[in-house]
Amino acid sequence: MITTTPFGTAPSGSPVTVYNLVCAGARVRVMDYGATILGIEVPDAKGTVADIVLGFDRLNGYFDNPACYGGTIGPSANRTDKGQITIGDVTYQMVHNDGPDKTNNLHTDLEHGLHKRMWDAKVDEITNTVSFTCKLDDGELGLPGNRTFTVTYALQAGPTGAAELTCTQSCATDAETFVNMTNHSYFNLAGHDSGTVLDQVAAIDAEAFLPQREDNVSSGEVRPVVDTPFDFRAPKTLGRDIDADDEQLKIARGFDHCFCLDCFAPDAEPRHALRLQDPNSGRTLDIFVTAPGAHLYTGNWLGDIDAKDGCSYGPRDGVAFEPEFWPDNNHHAQWAHPVCTPDHPFSSTIVYRFSTVC
């Protein structure tokens, strides 16, 4: 049974509701403001349950939320050079909100993007699913088309009996447009309030990553991970190489880069992308995606006081893994591009599988 609890009032005056999904020993809390993941509670190897997602106890924490905790990001995730998207012969302008001179764009609009909108909710008890929808008018947030966005969260038992949270993001439009959505949850498998994630072990299915310019926009190079700190093909702790003498790590204060995930094919089923393990608790997270890339961000700029459970978050206290088409792909003709037309809606699926190891 999916239960609901009130969570305050949005700036628009609309009441905000939390939806509680329970299955296979896990509990997931999502809300209709920003189609946001508020919490994921899962047991460790000894059965002790902890919330492994960073966030806030109070709704007003999400009104500012520069870290975008748990939010649905779009229509355009990550950084876009000059905030410009070209579709056909027309160049569209998003707000300038990122970079040293605020000349670029980050996450479409940090004040009015999808993570700051009220979404309509629909519950399906049979599939243990909550679906959220949000509409944007033609030209709204700088991009064309009357668009309907949908985010569906389904909590079910996977093939091994472990809990799986499936997040499906989609967009239907009446005109060709640009969509590159993601989810911006931060994980700490020891518990959201357990401090640094640098001792947690990650493996990423990627032979290459995207270097950045000084302003954090993709440089256009696709660089092999071999012989770099970005080589996560074999498991290693997030902290092992994070402070290495590497120009890319210095630009971002750590990992804040898109990984070019192996075996991408358009419209394919989700494939494995990441395994994250906490050696102390035994909690394990496997992420499966349909997107060609995913952005690994080790929370290098986090700084929130009085967050969830009264704790404070500092740099590297959480790690985000954001599936996406490669950032700034609109300016690189040779890269894969998302498709969103009246005949071909955009769709992206993320599967979070939770388990334990002894």
129-172 tens-digit pLDDT: 999 999 999 999 999 999 999 999 999 999 888 999 999 999 99
φ/ψ bin of 294: left (φ > 0), alpha (ψ from -120 to 50), beta (otherwise): beta
Res 92: pLDDT? 98
Kindly list the domain boundaries of the chain, sorted by start residue: 3-356
Block means of pLDDT (10 residues each) for the chain, length 358 residues?
A: 97 97 97 98 97 98 97 98 97 97 97 98 97 98 98 95 96 98 98 98 98 98 98 98 98 97 97 98 98 98 96 98 98 97 98 94
How far CA 248 is from CA of 100, 211, 221, 242, 297, in Å, comes to 17, 7, 12, 10, 13
pLDDT at 44: 97
Give the pLDDT score at 1: 87
Cα torsion 214, 216, 221, 226: sign = positive
Helix (H, G, I), strand (E, B) or coil at 248: helix
Q: Report the C-alpha gap between 167 and 182 in whole angstroms.
A: 10
Yes or no: say if 258 and 294 are a contact pair by the CB < 8 Å rule. yes
CB neighbour class for 160 (10 Å; exposed up to 12, middle 13-18, buried from 19): exposed
Fold observed for domain 3-356: Beta-galactosidase; Chain A, domain 5 (2.70.98)
pLDDT for the residue 311:
96
If DSSP states are collapsed to H, E and C, what string results for 155-202?
Answer: EEECCCCCEEEEEEEEEEECCCCCCECEECCEECCCCCCCCCCCCCEE
Question: What does the pLDDT read at residue 358?
Answer: 78
**pLDDT score of 160:** 87
Would you call 141 helix, strand, or coil by DSSP?
A: helix
Q: Are 302 and 312 in contact (CB under 8 A)?
A: no
- Tell me which H or E stretch contains 249: helix 247-252
Catalytic (active-site) positions: 184, 322
How many whole angstroms separate alpha carbon 135 and alpha carbon 161?
36
* pLDDT at 71 (0 to 100): 98
